[in-house]
Amino acid sequence: MSKLKSLFFYILFAIVLASCRHNSDTINSTKDGIFAGTFSYGNFTDKIQFEIEKDSSNYLVYFTSLEQNANRIPLQQINVVGDSINFKLQSDYYTYTFKNKWVDNNEKLQGSLTVDTVTVNYSLEKELKDEQTLKSEDIVFKSNNLSLNGTIWYPQKSNGNALVMVTSSGNADRSSSRAEAILFAQKGYTTFHYDKRGTGISEGDWTSSTIEELSFDDIYAINYFSNKTHIPISKIGIKGSSQGASKVPYILNKLPDLNYGIVVSCPGVTLLESDLNYWKNSNYNEIGDDIEEAVNVQAAVFRFIAGTLSKTELEKLIKSKKDKVWFKNIWIPNLEEVKTDEKLNYTPIPFFEKVKQPILIVQGTKDDIIPLESSQIIAEAIKKAGNKNFEVHLLEGASHSMNYVGKSDFPYWSKLHSDYIETLTKWLSNVTK
């Protein structure tokens, strides 16, 4: 009888164990989750991920490539049949068709991307939950009685340092700096970026604001961030691109305890001259030998907008040049509706001549917006401050936005120059140690 009891309990234990294993397999084999890996084709490589979610009846899929500045881009036409999941992404120029299949108990996603006439295979692996998303916190702070909204990104393992992304030109909100905020949070830095006044969900109007007013928004942001995270100003650095970079020396002068500054694609001239340089580069091939004469007219338009040339003087110049063949290339807004924009007269050079903190200067050789000699002009200005703690890095083939514009075997995706993040990371590791 005792043997029968022992056999019974053994069989019962085996059934329970098998049931637990079955339930464990079921839990581990869900089709949702984050699938990540490397996409490669010829000389092109990129780290991509699909975040697959499922509600009561439908699947949702989001695409992320931080080096493409793409974060949780919704995918369309999602179709799930059995172990297959297919979807598409539409850009202004191409349709990207993804065909995928879950394999290895749904722990991997094997698929292919077809765009134009090219098909590329890839294999992505499901990430563990503790390896997935960083912790982020959306916040609101006040600057000049305006409510400005931003996001703090907390690293899983902090190195004790922080990086604040100052705002840039135009109506770009915090989404334009989200990828870099995440990338550097992944490297151990607590990062912060926010919607410039009048963009995203922040109050105010950036178009009528001066560079100084926008810079003080950044200063309020930095102080708020320091108080919120309890990270001292001395452990915080700032990074800006383009117009944002031109604010960096101004802010460093106002907050001398800041640790460092990173300036990317920073003009070494006024913002007006930078805009004019871009116009010249954009129209040079079409206008040809008459480009300098045309530049003088376009410069007059910019000077009127900047408030340094009268409407009467501009109209007189326009009248004298309107019969020129190249005149059609001149950008002229409705002069009756123009609002003076004094930001165009701003140059960062006087502030670089006073900055004492370490500075990293990064410029691309394929930047068609700022003058090519900008990085050298900035370096000479920093030397006038007696500051020897700076570096200049020219990235071959990098554009104004730091994307690589050289020959690519997969020209359908544009991504950051391969040396860009590494350049910033190496410099930061030295200046923050």
Mean pLDDT of 257-276: 98
Average pLDDT on 20-47 reads: 78
Evaluate whether 33-130 and 134-269+347-431 have a shared fold: no
Helix (H, G, I), strand (E, B) or coil at 224: helix
pLDDT (average), residues 370-384: 97
State mean pLDDT over 68-77. Answer: 94
Q: Residue 230 has which token pair?
A: 């309890």
Backbone angles phi, psi at 341, to 5 degrees: -125, 95
C-beta separation of 104 from 25 below 8 A = no
Q: Tell me the pLDDT band of 55, cut-offs 50, 70 and 90.
A: confident
Residue % of the chain over a pLDDT of 70: 92
Question: Once rounded to an integer, what is the mean pLDDT over residues 337-362?
Answer: 97
Residue 22 is predicted with a pLDDT of 44
- Which structure tokens are listed for 356? 């004492």
Residue 7 has pLDDT above 60, yes or no: no
**pLDDT of amino acid 26:** 44
Say which residues have a Cβ less than 8 Å from residue 27's Cβ, sequence separation at least 6. none
Whole-angstrom distance between the N-terminal and C-terminal Cα of the chain?
73
Residues counted in the chain = 433
CATH 3.40.50.1970 applies to domain 134-269+347-431 = no
CA distance 399 to 364: 5
Calculate what percentage of the chain has a pLDDT beyond 90: 90
What is the average pLDDT across 255-261? Answer: 98
Q: Is the pLDDT of residue 293 over 50?
A: yes
Residue spans of the domains in the chain: they are 33-130, 134-269+347-431, 272-342
Note whether 367 and 399 are within 8 A (CB): yes
Q: In this predicted model, what pLDDT tens digit does every residue of 93-122 receive, in sequence order?
A: 999 999 999 999 999 999 999 999 999 999
Q: How far apart are CA 121 and CA 112, in angstroms?
A: 4
- Which helix or strand (DSSP H or E) is residue 303 part of? helix 291-306
pTM greater than 0.85 (yes/no): yes
Tokens encoding 148: 């400005």
**Residue 19, both tokens:** 């049931």
Tokens 């101004």 appear where?
250
Q: Average the pLDDT over 63-85 and give the result.
A: 95
Distance CA 398, CA 363 (A): 8
Q: Which of 133, 120, 125 is nearest to 39 (CA)?
A: 120
Average pLDDT of the segment spanning 307-324: 97
Query: Mean pLDDT of all residues in the chain?
Result: 93
pLDDT at residue 130, as a whole number: 59
Q: Which residues contact 3 (CB under 8 A, 6 or more apart)?
A: none
- CATH code of 33-130, in short, is 2.40.128.20
Q: Which helix (H) or strand (E) holds 377?
A: helix 374-384
Are the C-beta atoms of 196 and 211 separated by less than 8 Å?
A: no
Look-up: residue for tokens 């990207």? Answer: 96
**pLDDT band at 21, cuts 50/70/90?**
very low
So what's the pLDDT on residue 433?
87
Question: For 75, which DSSP code?
Answer: P
Phi, psi (rounded to 5 degrees) for 422: -65, -40
Comparing 11-15, 125-129, 136-140, 381-385, the range with the smallest average pLDDT is: 11-15
Q: By CB neighbour count within 10 A (0-12 exposed, 13-18 middle, 19+ buried), where does 244 fall?
A: buried
Is the model's pLDDT at 12 over the cut of 50? no
